[in-house]
Chains A and B, each alone.
Chain A
Amino acid sequence: MPRQAHGRPLLASGPTKTQKRKPAKGRGLNALETAEREFPQQVKIRQHRLGEAEDDNDASNTRADADGRSSKRQKVDHSPDKQDEEDGGSDPDGNPWHVGVEDDEDSDIDSDDAFGESDEERFADFTFRGSSKQEDKPQKPRAKQLSAKKLDLEEDEVKDEDGDSVSEDDGEEASDEDDFGDDAIDLATAWDMDDEEQREEREKAARKKIAQRQTLNGLPDGSDEPVESLADDESEDDIDQEDDAFGGFDISEDEQDEETTARLRSFVDGLTPAEQTLVKSAPQRINRNLPDKPSAFALPSAPISAADLMQYIKDPTQRQSLKILQQAEKEDGTSYKGGIPGKLAAPLAKRQQDRLDRAAAYDQTKQTLERWVDTVKNNRRAEHVSFPLVDHTKASASGVKALRPVSAGAPQSELESKIKEIMQESGFSMQNGQDIEDEEQKYEELKEKQIPLEEVQARRRELRMQRELMFREEIRAKRIKKIKSKAYRRVHRKEKDKFAVHEHERLAAAGLLNSDEERERNDRKRAEERMGARHKESRWAKAAKASGQTTWNEDAKIGVSEMARRDEELRKRVEGKNIHGSDESDGDSESESELDSEAEDADQRWNQKLDSLQSTEQPAGKSKLADMAFMKKAEAERQTANDEELKQLRRAMNGGENLSESESDNEDKPVRQSFGKQTTKKTATAPPPVNRLDFEEKLSDEEDNQEETESMMPQLQSKQPSLGLQPASKAKPPTSTHQAKSTNNLSAATTKTSKSQRNTTQKSSRPQTTQQSTLDDYTSPSESEGGHPDGLDDKDRLALDIFAGDDEEDLRTQFIKEKKQTIKEEGDQVIDNTLPGWGSWTGVGISKKAQNKAKGRFVTTIKGIAPETRKDAKLDRVIVNERRVKKNGKYLAQELPHPFESRSQYERSLRLPMGPEWSTRNHFQDAIKPRVLLKQGQVIKPMAKPVA
């Protein structure tokens, strides 16, 4: 705090300290005179009137940067002492002091205006601050920044200033003035930036330091003035006192009282240690020292308060106004906020003011304009804008179009009132539109009032207790849940199980158990349990697996198979099926089966039996003998035979319906084609007699073959293409050359078919195997020829041989050749640019070798389409022309239009049809609606001011 920096003892009890004062100036001297006359009184008055602790706070508030000033003052303080001593005549103008007051009083005056001829000196620094004219200029900032080294610096400065001329003195004076000027400016800013916290903080710090100083500074300072002592008396009101003291001190210096100067010196000497202790807190101060807001002229910030001026003013009216000011300062922000500025801030420089004005004006304009932003944005984004604009707020009240919630308020329409009525009737809402829950709560509260207080309290306690318990339980559960120990879990599970069993027994004893359901449930549960990993991964199972016991140990083998069986059974049980009648089943399940069998009919039992038979047919373990191929085969055969038998049994049972279904199912299923010996199966599943329709599709070539051998149906004989021609050629011999040309001779046909068959078997994985079937003439008589199976007699065959044109093979090869040709043409083109004789010999007698050497020397390659990237690369019966169709090119977009980021986006945007032919009327009209619609014959007013 600045006051501390002054080093003045502030406690009344402590010895009075000589303060480091502002430099003595002419103005200062005058002030001293006046102050000497006035001060004691004044201070006393003030003490009386306003000697509250709050005062101090406020005063400290107004000077946010008092810290900084203090150092400055210290520094300056000393120099004038000596200065005054040496050039005492240089400071006798009272003018500056007066002006200072005036300046403060009518702070409205612009700095420019106030700058008169007489003021030249005083305001020199104000105007020419930045100029290098003034020698003492650099000192100040230095002093400010290096407040830690204050004292040393001060000494130096004092020495420097000793030799200064009058002009320098002027400068000094000016610098003093400068302080005032700074104060004025900073006051304005300080008002704005006041913070309660800051203030308090500062205060605290100040108090602390004062205390420090009191202890440290043992310098008795009777000081110059009663003011001083007075000020010291008020140990706590540091700031006001400071101000007062400051004024007083100025005066004392101005008097050039030797005595005082001597005292001052002694004070300064005594001050040194105290100041040194303060060095610790220096850096903090430095920060505070800097102006909070960057001011344009980097003016130092030391606020001046009304109290400062009080002492110098005698005029009662002026004093009155000053008091008001003071009051305002104390109340500070509040009064200012109230709209009655206590005192007017010093005006800013015009440029600065203008800038602020501009900023404010800009903000204002921005605010007004920002109101439009939403509207403009919406209009810009809108797909269509129609003028005149519709005022939505006017257009419709809410609730006209949509049903509002019934509880919102009083029903507006008949419908709403009706609904509300219904709601009330059905108990969804109460008469006054409140919720039922609210109602209930209210009711409870009412009831509570009737109950005696103790009871209510007891009830509440109980509730609280319960809540607490619940909470604890929750916490416990959470903790237990986190336990990972398996052992813990096991033990607890066992306990639980035990408990459950016990409970169950108890229930059973009491006869409360619904036995069937319960059993079912238990069964299921157990099954699930066994199915768990625990069972399968039991130690025994693992060991058996690891040691490979199953291969040689009969017991282990049986065990494993047992486990597998069990597994299966359990799975079934989990699925909800009953396992009955299986001989391996354990005791309880058998009993169950007995129980259930009563309920179930005989058929089902049979079925189950059959099922179990089927499932248990496989032997559990396999010997090596059984692994051998022939054994397997025999086994498989036996299996199929058994299956067949079972099927037949079933068929007998179900009366045939079931069978056909199941068989068809079997056929439908995609079965891997198996080759080799499977005759038994074939014979076993004999095809259904005549079920197949005449025109049904044949499933595969094999089947075709089969059917060919078996069936007598005529259309099947015309499977091969050449056969289809047969009747025609019979009716009339091939007259047209086309026909004759393309009819295939038999041999070709047969070779082809065999080949194609081979192809199909080879390419069976390909999805595109074209199937063959007939498009038959249904009314045409079915041809049944003896002799040749393919329906051709010798004559026909001869005819075919004679008129045979290109057969399929030829056509195919031709096509492939053509394709190759096009691939070559559309592929990379190599152009040999070599000129004969260019860089090589040419003419007669050149060897072939040399000629070849000269050949491919200058070659250009034009990129074409690689065979593998062609569209028809995988289509062997298609040639796609990969050349670009130039004429189509003019309808292509040469480059991606602007807003789009990718081709797909652009093309997607194009594909939306516009015309009425491709869309509904609504869509069409929507598509062609212009963006801006103007209603004709209407005045279009500018948009109304949006409601902010």
Chain B
Amino acid sequence: MDQLDKISGQDTEPSNGQHRQTTLARKRPTAVLSQEERERQRQVAEARKKYGRGRPVRLNQVKDKKLKSALRRIENKYQDAVLGAKDAEILLENQSGFLQPESALERTYKVRQEDISEAVSVQQAKKSFELKLDLGPYCANYTRNGKQLLLAGQKGHIATCDWRSGKPGCELNLNETVRDAKWLHNDQYFAVAQKKHVYIYDAAGVEIHVLRKYVETSHLEFLPYHFLLAGVENSGFLRYTDTSTGQIVAEHPTRKGPPTALAQNPYNAILHVGHQNGTVSLWSPNSTDPLIKIQANTGAVRSIAMDRSGHYMLTGGQDSRLKLWDIRALKEVHSYSTRQPATSISISDRGLAAVVSGTSTTIWKDLLTTGNSSQPGKVQSPYLNYHSSLGTQVKPNTVGFCPFEDILGVAHSSGFTSLIVPGAGEANYDALEVNPYETRTQRREAEVKSLLTKLQPETIALDPNFIGSLDVRSAEQRAREKDLDAPSREEEKMAMLKERNRARGKNSALRRHLRKKGGKNIIDEKRVRMEQMRHEKSEREKERITGEKMELGPALARIFYTSMNTEA
């Protein structure tokens, strides 16, 4: 028997994706699944859970045969795609891991940076460094591929560098207040929000543009897929500029006073602006009003951060509360209290959250990852904890995780510190998307390609999948929006009624009868008589008129009848 089994096993083993559809279809729905069949189903379910794109269409409800087969084909493609993606996981060769306590008593937050850098490889240890700069407080920004670092001191010091190799890019001393600085689509350009206007510099530090429309901009954000540079001003104006064309795309007044925070949602390119009154408003360039307003905190919102999937938002408020919001359901999930207001938050690709409160920087794990319920559980202790070694007075200004690295950049009042945070970065990169090791030509090609595939600002919406979906407005609504002055349907109906009844003398009993009853194309005796009567009547009328005309004489008749006609 064993041998037989083996043989049959040989036969069935190589069955791959192609055969599975047919075998599935052939089996009775109530038939007991074989072991491998069950295994395969489990795989599909797993893959679908991770890579699936919504529920399949119910094919049994489709009546049209052609459509049914087309949809079935599509569903098969979905499944193939999902399984392919799952299979392709084998290519994600780099693994990621966190600090693991060996016993229950050990706490990861007690591990200091020195311990970590001793333990990790030299290459990695080199990435942990500290820059002492005295034109602070600084703010820092990494490029999308994590290669270049931009440092901007409030007192006007701007510096870029390839931080891994320690190669300086450019250094500027602007001698005026710098509020924020952001890289644009690659490491060749960056925008700086200065005292009055926003300026764009190139990699060599040459000033290329002045955006004079931007006045006293306090926060900047760059939307890489849309090439939009967004800045929010102290006056409360939010402006979008297309950096590929130089046009201002949108200007929206927030009407909430000076903004306190700005962050972009990487999932749908919506900007979240924090306000003094504890609300967070969500903006797109397409609407003059915020899409959503959330009363997140009870004090001013000091910092906002969204995770990569765009599901969760962390807001730190002046009320010393750190709130976790589910942006899809628009519900607050958890509320944590902080010792001091969280002034800066950053969420890494793998869901670690770095929170600056007071002088300390804490890094939290599993803040956003869902527990056994559908929502994230509440975390009790941080993953890592950092206090500047430069002194107790050093206050971190901004924090930001470096993409594809286990590095957290902390820009503080006296410089910049790069911390090693194990497990922070995405271990596997997609070179089609962003390439941390790109060469110059690759960078150029990527630039051209991204320009070609640039998304229009109109594609920004809360649900980025809306494109191509069906417009569900009613016909009436559409008509109304098409022409605002157009009368409504009821009005039109009334007008029609009026119009219909307006003609005088055309509604004789005879005519009405003919219209109503004689409309059919049946010519019978009655109908003929009717027609004749009508004819006679008109003849009589004509006669009468001619008679009258004769009586009146040509001149008078003309006057009389024209006046009569106009009256009618």
A interface residue numbers (CB < 8 A to B)? 381, 383, 402-403, 419, 422-423, 426, 428, 693-697, 718-719, 721, 724-725, 727-728, 738-739, 741-744, 768, 770-780, 806-808, 811-812, 814-815, 818, 860, 862, 871-872, 875, 877-881, 883-896, 899-901, 903-913, 916-917, 919-920, 922-923, 926-927
Q: Chain A contacts of B56 at CB under 8 A?
A: 908
Asked whether B330 lies within 8 Å of A875 as measured between CB atoms, the reply is yes
Asked whether A428 lies within 8 Å of B4 as measured between CB atoms, the reply is yes
Q: Chain A contacts of B292 at CB under 8 A?
A: 878-881
Q: Chain B contacts of A884 at CB under 8 A?
A: 473, 481
Q: Chain A contacts of B260 at CB under 8 A?
A: 738
Asked whether B294 lies within 8 Å of A878 as measured between CB atoms, the reply is yes
A358 to B491, CA, bound (A): 65
Q: Chain B contacts of A911 at CB under 8 A?
A: 53-54, 465
Q: Chain A contacts of B235 at CB under 8 A?
A: none
Q: A891-B458, A894-B471, A920-B87 are in contact. Are A738 and B81 (CB under 8 A)?
A: no
Does B433 have its Cβ within 8 Å of any Cβ on chain A? yes
Asked whether A919 lies within 8 Å of B289 as measured between CB atoms, the reply is no
Which range contains the number of B residues in contact with the other chain? 35 or more
Among A694, A724, A903, point to the contact of B381 (Cβ < 8 A).
A694
Asked whether A883 lies within 8 Å of B293 as measured between CB atoms, the reply is no
A860 to B485, CA, bound (A): 13
Asked whether A927 lies within 8 Å of B77 as measured between CB atoms, the reply is yes
Among A718, A806, A894, A901, point to the contact of B63 (Cβ < 8 A).
A901
Among B293, B317, B358, B381, point to the contact of A695 (Cβ < 8 A).
B381
A883 to B64, CA, bound (A): 37
Does B528 have its Cβ within 8 Å of any Cβ on chain A? no
Q: Chain A contacts of B341 at CB under 8 A?
A: 725, 739
A768 to B329, CA, bound (A): 11
Asked whether A774 lies within 8 Å of B337 as measured between CB atoms, the reply is yes
Asked whether A775 lies within 8 Å of B78 as measured between CB atoms, the reply is no
Extra inter-chain contacts (10) besides given A742-B299, A770-B333, A807-B298, CB under 8 Å:
A718-B339, A724-B337, A728-B340, A742-B300, A742-B319, A776-B339, A777-B362, A779-B387, A881-B287, A910-B469
Q: Chain B contacts of A862 at CB under 8 A?
A: 480
Q: A419-B7, A916-B432, A926-B77 are in contact. Are A899 and B469 (CB under 8 A)?
A: no
B354 CB → nearest A CB, Å: 12
Q: A739-B341, A911-B465, A920-B81 are in contact. Are A877 and B295 (CB under 8 A)?
A: yes
Does B467 have its Cβ within 8 Å of any Cβ on chain A? yes
Among A403, A904, A910, point to the contact of B10 (Cβ < 8 A).
A403
Asked whether A923 lies within 8 Å of B473 as measured between CB atoms, the reply is no
Of B21-29, B272-280, B415-423, B547-555, the segment with at least 4 beta carbons within 8 Å of chain A is B272-280
Does B98 have its Cβ within 8 Å of any Cβ on chain A? no
Please give me the residue from chain A that is nearest to B367 by CB atom.
A775
B216 CB → nearest A CB, Å: 17
Asked whether A893 lies within 8 Å of B471 as measured between CB atoms, the reply is yes
**25 residue pairs A–B, Cβ–Cβ below 8 Å:** A721-B319, A739-B341, A741-B276, A741-B299, A742-B317, A742-B319, A743-B299, A768-B331, A774-B338, A811-B278, A881-B287, A884-B473, A885-B291, A887-B457, A891-B466, A895-B471, A899-B64, A901-B63, A903-B470, A910-B469, A912-B81, A913-B53, A916-B432, A919-B84, A927-B77
Among A744, A772, A879, A909, point to the contact of B293 (Cβ < 8 A).
A879
Q: A892-B469, A905-B57 are in contact. Are A771 and B334 (CB under 8 A)?
A: yes
Does B441 have its Cβ within 8 Å of any Cβ on chain A? no
Asked whether A907 lies within 8 Å of B470 as measured between CB atoms, the reply is yes
Q: Chain A contacts of B11 at CB under 8 A?
A: 402-403
Q: Chain B contacts of A905 at CB under 8 A?
A: 57, 62, 67, 71
Does B94 have its Cβ within 8 Å of any Cβ on chain A? no
A893 to B291, CA, bound (A): 22
Please give me the residue from chain B that is nearest to A877 by CB atom.
B295
Asked whether B337 lies within 8 Å of A721 as measured between CB atoms, the reply is yes
Q: A721-B319, A721-B337, A892-B466 are in contact. Are A775 and B382 (CB under 8 A)?
A: yes
A908 to B488, CA, bound (A): 35
Inter-chain CB contacts under 8 Å: number = 255
A484 CB → nearest B CB, Å: 31
Asked whether B85 lies within 8 Å of A920 as measured between CB atoms, the reply is yes
Asked whether B362 lies within 8 Å of A775 as measured between CB atoms, the reply is yes
A888 to B457, CA, bound (A): 9
Chain B 432-452 per-residue mask, 1 if CB under 8 angstroms from chain A, else 0:
110000000000000000000
A368 to B340, CA, bound (A): 88
B238 CB → nearest A CB, Å: 15
Q: A695-B381, A919-B84, A922-B84 are in contact. Are A910 and B339 (CB under 8 A)?
A: no
Q: Quick one: which of B451-480 are within 8 Å of A by CB?
A: 457-459, 461, 465-473, 480
Among A697, A808, A912, A917, point to the contact of B74 (Cβ < 8 A).
A912
A423 to B69, CA, bound (A): 44
Q: Chain A contacts of B360 at CB under 8 A?
A: 777, 779-780
Q: Quick one: which of B297-312 are within 8 Å of A by CB?
A: 298-300
Asked whether A727 lies within 8 Å of B339 as measured between CB atoms, the reply is yes
Q: Chain A contacts of B488 at CB under 8 A?
A: 860
Among A423, A693, A926, point to the contact of B80 (Cβ < 8 A).
A926
Q: Chain A contacts of B320 at CB under 8 A?
A: 721, 724-725
A923 to B332, CA, bound (A): 39
B258 CB → nearest A CB, Å: 9
A768 to B334, CA, bound (A): 9
A210 to B254, CA, bound (A): 114
Asked whether A899 lies within 8 Å of B67 as measured between CB atoms, the reply is yes
Q: Quick one: which of B216-255 are within 8 Å of A by CB?
A: none
Q: Chain B contacts of A725 at CB under 8 A?
A: 320, 340-341
Among A403, A428, A718, point to the contact of B337 (Cβ < 8 A).
A718
Asked whether B337 lies within 8 Å of A893 as measured between CB atoms, the reply is no
Chain B 66-96 per-residue mask, 1 if CB under 8 angstroms from chain A, else 0:
1101110110011011001101100000000
A894 to B298, CA, bound (A): 43
Asked whether A778 lies within 8 Å of B385 as measured between CB atoms, the reply is yes
Q: Chain A contacts of B319 at CB under 8 A?
A: 721, 742, 744, 808
Q: Chain B contacts of A812 at CB under 8 A?
A: 295, 298
A792 to B363, CA, bound (A): 29
Does B189 have its Cβ within 8 Å of any Cβ on chain A? no
A308 CB → nearest B CB, Å: 60
B536 CB → nearest A CB, Å: 45
Q: Chain A contacts of B387 at CB under 8 A?
A: 779
A890 to B459, CA, bound (A): 9
Q: Chain B contacts of A904 at CB under 8 A?
A: 57
Q: Chain B contacts of A923 at CB under 8 A?
A: 77, 80-81, 84
Does B322 have its Cβ within 8 Å of any Cβ on chain A? yes
A403 to B6, CA, bound (A): 13
Q: Chain B contacts of A814 at CB under 8 A?
A: 277
Q: Chain B contacts of A780 at CB under 8 A?
A: 339, 360
Q: Chain A contacts of B169 at CB under 8 A?
A: none
Does B560 have its Cβ within 8 Å of any Cβ on chain A? no
Please give me the residue from chain A that is nearest to B2 by CB atom.
A426
Among A383, A807, A907, point to the contact of B469 (Cβ < 8 A).
A907
Chain B 253-268 per-residue mask, 1 if CB under 8 angstroms from chain A, else 0:
0000000100000000
Asked whether B3 lies within 8 Å of A422 as measured between CB atoms, the reply is yes
Among A727, A770, A890, A895, point to the contact of B340 (Cβ < 8 A).
A727
Q: Chain B contacts of A694 at CB under 8 A?
A: 381
Asked whether B85 lies within 8 Å of A724 as measured between CB atoms, the reply is no
B10 CB → nearest A CB, Å: 7
A419 CB → nearest B CB, Å: 6
A922 to B83, CA, bound (A): 11
Does B357 have its Cβ within 8 Å of any Cβ on chain A? yes
A922 to B338, CA, bound (A): 50
Q: Chain A contacts of B364 at CB under 8 A?
A: 775
A911 to B467, CA, bound (A): 10
Q: Chain B contacts of A419 at CB under 8 A?
A: 7
Chain B 368-391 per-residue mask, 1 if CB under 8 angstroms from chain A, else 0:
000000000010111001010000
Asked whether A893 lies within 8 Å of B469 as measured between CB atoms, the reply is yes
Does B365 have its Cβ within 8 Å of any Cβ on chain A? no
A871 to B56, CA, bound (A): 26
A884 to B284, CA, bound (A): 13
